[in-house]
């Protein structure tokens, strides 16, 4: 059982880095691993509607994250590998009892994990604060409006409607208001949900009468209601109706409403007029893509937050690559930081940034080269590049060298002679010998196998992180 929890924890780390924080918090974090049956990992989700939504939008991403760890040894010292998994199934709390559970199943632990899953509608991403938001001509109007609303919820600007393109900071500002109110008006009830989740909860409440009271209670008793990405109301008349009534109740009672969308209210397709007009009653503000100077400022702030020293040359390089989506730009920065720690070199040169981002920029996400493999082995075994490719014959160097050669022959289709050249002009028969030695050792020695598998995962992690 422990193995399954660990495997899921590893997969969740991968997922956290490959989707937006809010999507991760809402859909992935609430999953609890139940068991593995017939090579399938069973994950429990709270409701049917979240099961449907996860199956529709995230199941493939989840599956590939889990498969990366299938059958692997958690680390070089482990005696037991993760179970072999080739699929993932999402079940609801109610369905989970249909599974015949393995002998070592820890029912109490699962019950505790399920219990712990609180309603996350009032949880704000801690780093999404006003202090961490870089003010710029592209966003200063909206920022001022957001601060005004945070200081005086239910005041003059009601509703506050923020619109703008993907990754420009709408959710960040909404959570910044939430974090501010949480600190300064702790008794206020703030409810913040992505529109898709609101829709799901409504569907669940219609299915089941008890939830229906919970649903009303949750939304109509809010002092501040935040609905993120209301463009997803498009064409959903049932949800629009629920939003309409909730809006009226709250607005009349002087409660604050905050909405975000990728377009202004009137441009949302298939949105009833009674809603689009209400959405525009208060203050509507637009976030524009940041200019170069702002992009540089955002990157500097982010590097500072990560406590990582990134040279201005590298910051500028990244700011030049992406001109609209801040989330993508942050992704590039994370990749550079990740790469720089992996190869153990400071993030201070264009060469390093280019190397770290070359697949991203060339759009060849999974091309690995011999340098990547050598770097990964050096870093894994903590040996220098000059040593691994040099003449030394001591054991601490020879085995890493042989493993690097083995991996290059396995992962790339390079002629043996060229591989010999990479390793200080060695003969191709030496290359063959190294390759065969490791390939034999993998069969007989689980530790060597785990080591090789871990380095491969390591290499592909760097690559995947760059996608």
Question: Is the Cβ–Cβ distance between 338 and 465 less than 8 Å?
Answer: yes
List the interface residues with ligand ADP, window 98-157 (CB under 6 A).
128, 132-134, 139
CA gap 66, 13 in Å, rounded: 10
Applying CB under 5 A, among 45, 70, 171, 294 the residue interacting with Mg ion is 171
Per DSSP, the three-state class of 162 is: strand
The count of chain residues that interact with ligand ADP, using the rule CB under 6 A, is: 18
Peptide bond into 90 cis (omega under 30): no
| Between 125 and 407, CB nearer to Mg ion | 125
| Between 220 and 327, CB nearer to Mg ion | 327
| Between 175 and 441, CB nearer to Mg ion | 175
Asked if 169 touches ligand ADP (CB under 6 A), the answer is yes
CA gap 267, 231 in Å, rounded: 9
139, interface contact from ligand ADP, Mg ion, none, CB < 5-8 Å by kind = ligand ADP
- Can you state the angle between helices 326-343 and 292-305, rounded to 10 degrees? 50
Applying CB under 6 A, among 28, 146, 168, 233 the residue interacting with ligand ADP is 168
The count of chain residues that interact with Mg ion, using the rule CB under 5 A, is: 2
Q: Are strands 40-45 and 32-37 parallel, antiparallel or unpaired?
A: antiparallel
40 burial type by CB count under 10 A (0-12 exposed, 13-18 middle, 19+ buried): middle
Strands (E), 262-398: 283-287
Asked if 32 touches ligand ADP (CB under 6 A), the answer is no
CA gap 66, 59 in Å, rounded: 10
Min separation Cβ 22 and Mg ion, Å: 6
CA gap 409, 420 in Å, rounded: 11
Min separation Cβ 197 and Mg ion, Å: 13
Dihedral Cα 297, 301, 306, 309, nearest 10 deg: 60
| Between 172 and 278, CB nearer to ligand ADP | 172
Backbone dihedral angles phi then psi of residue 95, each to the nearest 5 degrees = -75, -15
| Between 27 and 380, CB nearer to ligand ADP | 27
Question: Is the Cβ–Cβ distance between 175 and 298 less than 8 Å?
Answer: no
Asked if 298 touches ligand ADP (CB under 6 A), the answer is yes
Min separation Cβ 327 and ligand ADP, Å: 4
| Between 93 and 330, CB nearer to Mg ion | 330
Asked if 295 touches ligand ADP (CB under 6 A), the answer is no
Min separation Cβ 341 and ligand ADP, Å: 20
Question: Is the Cβ–Cβ distance between 139 and 145 less than 8 Å?
Answer: no
Min separation Cβ 345 and ligand ADP, Å: 26
Asked if 330 touches ligand ADP (CB under 6 A), the answer is yes
CA gap 410, 379 in Å, rounded: 19
Selected range binding Mg ion among 81-89, 165-173, 204-212, 307-315, rule: CB under 5 A: 165-173
Asked if 296 touches ligand ADP (CB under 6 A), the answer is no
Backbone dihedral angles phi then psi of residue 89, each to the nearest 5 degrees = -130, 135
Asked if 282 touches ligand ADP (CB under 6 A), the answer is no
Instruction: Find residue 347's DSSP bridge partners.
Output: 310
Binding residues (CB under 6 A) for ligand ADP: these are: 20, 128, 132-134, 139, 164, 166-172, 298, 326-327, 330
Binding residues (CB under 5 A) for Mg ion: these are: 170-171
């Amino acid at each position: 059982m422990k193995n399954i929890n660990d495997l899921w924890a590893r997969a969740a780390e991968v997922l956290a880095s490959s989707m937006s924080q809010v999507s991760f918090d809402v859909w992935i974090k609430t999953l609890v691993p139940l068991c593995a049956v017939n090579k399938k990992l069973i994950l429990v989700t709270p409701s049917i509607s979240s099961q449907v939504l996860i199956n529709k939008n995230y199941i493939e991403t989840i599956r590939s994250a889990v498969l990366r760890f299938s059958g692997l040894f958690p680390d070089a010292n482990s005696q037991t590998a993760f179970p072999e998994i080739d699929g993932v199934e999402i079940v609801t709390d109610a369905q989970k009892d249909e599974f015949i559970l393995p002998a070592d199943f820890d029912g109490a632990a699962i019950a505790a994990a399920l219990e712990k899953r609180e309603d996350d509608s009032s949880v704000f991403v801690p780093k999404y604060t006003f202090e961490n938001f870089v003010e710029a001509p592209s966003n200063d109007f909206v920022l001022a409006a957001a601060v005004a609303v945070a200081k005086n919820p239910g005041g003059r600007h009601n509703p506050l409607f923020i619109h703008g393109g993907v990754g420009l900071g709408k959710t960040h500002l909404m959570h910044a208001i939430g974090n501010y109110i949480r600190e300064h008006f702790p008794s206020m009830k703030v409810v913040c949900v992505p529109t898709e989740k609101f829709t799901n909860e409504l569907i669940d409440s219609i299915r089941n009468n008890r939830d229906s009271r919970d649903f009303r209670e949750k939304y109509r008793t809010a002092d501040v209601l935040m609905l993120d990405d209301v463009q997803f109301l498009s064409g959903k008349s049932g949800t629009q109706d629920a939003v309409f009534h909730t809006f009226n109740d709250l607005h009349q009672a002087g409660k604050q409403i905050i909405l975000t969308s990728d377009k202004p209210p009137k441009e949302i397709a298939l949105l009833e007029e009674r809603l689009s007009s209400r959405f525009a009653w208060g203050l509507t503000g637009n976030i524009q893509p940041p200019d170069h100077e702002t992009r540089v400022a955002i990157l500097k702030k982010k590097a500072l937050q990560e406590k990582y020293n990134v040279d201005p040359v590298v910051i500028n390089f990244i700011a030049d690559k992406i001109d609209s989506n801040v989330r993508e730009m942050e992704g590039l920065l994370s990749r550079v930081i990740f790469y720089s720690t992996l190869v153990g070199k400071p993030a201070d040169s264009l060469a390093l940034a280019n190397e770290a981002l070359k697949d991203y920029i060339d759009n060849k996400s999974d091309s690995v080269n011999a340098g990547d493999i050598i770097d990964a082995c050096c870093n894994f075994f903590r040996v220098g590049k000059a040593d691994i490719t040099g003449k030394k014959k001591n054991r601490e160097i020879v085995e890493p060298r042989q493993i690097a050669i083995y991996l290059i022959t396995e992962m790339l289709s390079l002629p043996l002679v060229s591989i010999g050249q990479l390793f200080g002009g060695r003969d191709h028969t030496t290359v063959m010998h190294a390759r065969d030695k490791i390939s034999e050792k993998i069969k007989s020695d689980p530790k060597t196998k785990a080591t090789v598998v871990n380095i491969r995962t390591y290499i592909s992690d760097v690559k995947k992180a760059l996608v």
